[in-house]
Amino acid sequence: MASAVAAAAGQELSNPPSDGITNLRFSNHSDNLLVSSWDKSVRLYEASANVLRGEFMHAGPVLDCCFHDDSSGFSVAADNTVRRLFFSSNKEDILGRHDAPVRCVEYSYAAGQLITGSWDKTLKCWDPRGTSGQERTLVGTYPQPERVYSLSLVGNRLVVATAGRHVNIYDLRNMSQPEQKRESSLKYQTRCVRCYPNGTGYALSSVEGRVSMEFFDLSEAIQAKKYAFKCHRKSEAGRDIVYPVNAIAYHPIYGTFATGGCDGYVNVWDGNNKKRLYQYTKYPTSIAALSFSRDGRLLAVASSYTFEEGPKSNESDAIFVRSVNEIEVKPKPKVYPNPPA
C-alpha cells in the first residue's frame, strides 16, 4: 500500500534539502530543477533522471531562486544578498544587497533584468550583464508600501504583493511608479501571486484557504469577471479548518493552474470555468512550492512543513516529481460557446 501511495505522489528525488524548501523552479530549456532551502543551499537537479547536478552553499537561509539560462541562475537569501550562480564552474558572484532579507527573485527575459523584493520594503532591478559590483549592476530601487512577499512577471508586467495586503502593478519599461496600486481582494495575508500566462491578470492566494482571480484591465466589463474561491479547507466536527495556500503554478500549455496548501494537497483548477479538475493524493506534509516543467509533462512538488503551526515534529522535507496526465490539467469542453469575434 505504501508503495502505491508513493507511486501516486510521483518520483521522490534523492539528496533533498535538509530543512524547509522555500522554492523550486523548472528551467525554460530542460528538465533541470532549481531548489532553494532554509538549509542555506541552492540545489540543481536533473529532475527526469533524479540526479543532483550541483549545490551552492550560502551564509544564510535561501528564500528564493530562479534560472537565468540552463547554465546559470540567481538566488536571494536571508543574509540580504543577491547572487548569480554558475552551474558548470560551480562559481558564484554577488550582484548586490538589500538592507534586510531578500524574499523573492524573478528574471525578466523581456527586459534582460533581475528583479528582487525584500523585507526592507524595496524592489530592486539589476542588470546581470554589468560587471560585478552593486554600483555597476543596480538599475534602480523602488520603495514599496510594506515587506515584499511575492512577485510575478508576464511579458513587461510585474505584480508585487506585500505585507498589509498591498498589490502594486508595474510596467518594467517605466518603473518610476506603479501603473496600478491595489489592495488584495482577500481579507488575510497574501502568500503567493502568479500572473496568468495570457497576460490578462493574476491569481493571488492567502493564508486563509482562498484564491482570488484578478484582471489588469480596469474597465467595468472586465472587472466584473473577477472572483475568489475557497480551497484547502476541511470540515471536522462541524468546524471549518482552513489552511494557507502557499503555492500557485500555471500549466504552460493549457493555462489551468495548480495550488498547494498546508493541508498537504495539490489541486488543479480551470480558472475560466471555475472548476476543480483534479486533486492529487495527499502528500506527507505542507506543500511549500510547485512548478510545472516547460512542456507541462512534469509537476515538481515540495512537500515541506512551513511552520504554520510552530515548531513540532514533522515529516522530512521532500521533492516529488510526478508525470502529468492530460486529464488532470486539460480544461473540460466549455458549456457556453465562445462569443463571436
Which pLDDT score, from 0 to 100, does residue 336 have? 58
- Residue entry with cell 504552460: 252
Q: Kindly state the average pLDDT of the residues 49-53.
A: 96
Backbone angles phi, psi at 294, to 5 degrees: -60, -30
Which pLDDT score, from 0 to 100, does residue 3 have? 47
CA distance 213 to 205: 9
Q: Under CATH, what is the fold of the domain 1-328?
A: Methylamine Dehydrogenase; Chain H (2.130.10)
Q: State pLDDT tens for residues 198-242.
A: 999 999 999 999 999 999 999 999 999 999 999 999 988 889 899
The pLDDT-based confidence of 7 (bands split at 50, 70, 90) is: low
pLDDT of 2 > 80? The answer is: no
Mean pLDDT, the chain, whole residue set? 93
Q: Kindly state the average pLDDT of the residues 21-34.
A: 97
pTM to 2 decimal places: 0.93
Do 206 and 245 meet the contact criterion of CB atoms below 8 Å apart?
A: yes
Write a three-state SS string for the chain: CHHHHHHHHCEECCCCCCCCEEEEEECCCCCEEEEEECCCEEEEEEHHHCEEEEEEECCCCEEEEEEEECCEEEEEECCCEEEEEECCCCEEEEEEECCCCEEEEEEECCCCEEEEEECCCEEEEECCCCCCCHHHHEEEEEECCCCEEEEEEECCEEEEEEHHHEEEEEECCECCCCCEEEECCCCCCEEEEEECCCCCEEEEEECCCEEEEEECCCCHHHHCCCEEEECCEEEECCEEEECCEEEEEECCCCCCEEEEECCCCEEEEECCCCEEEEECCCCCCCEEEEEECCCCCEEEEEECCCCCCCCCCCCCCEEEEEECCHHHHCCCCCCCCCCCC
For the record, the C-alpha cell of 54 comes out as 550541483
Q: Kindly state the average pLDDT of the residues 251-255.
A: 97
What percent of the chain is modeled with pLDDT above 70? Answer: 94
For residue 189, which of 144, 226, 146 has the smallest C-alpha distance? 146
In degrees, rounded to 5, the angle at the alpha carbon of residue 282 between the alpha carbons of residues 281 and 284 is 135
Cβ neighbours for 131, distance < 8 A, ≥ 6 positions apart: 137
Which pLDDT score, from 0 to 100, does residue 341 have? 58
Q: State pLDDT tens for residues 98-140.
A: 999 999 999 999 999 999 999 999 999 999 886 666 667 899 9
- Identify the sign of the CA torsion 270, 276, 282, 287: positive
pLDDT of 44 > 60? The answer is: yes
Do 301 and 323 meet the contact criterion of CB atoms below 8 Å apart?
A: no
Q: Kindly state the average pLDDT of the residues 77-100.
A: 95
CA distance 78 to 155: 28
> Domain locations in the chain?
1-328
The pLDDT-based confidence of 274 (bands split at 50, 70, 90) is: very high
pLDDT of 36 > 70? The answer is: yes
pLDDT of 277 > 80? The answer is: yes
Q: Kindly state the average pLDDT of the residues 296-319.
A: 87
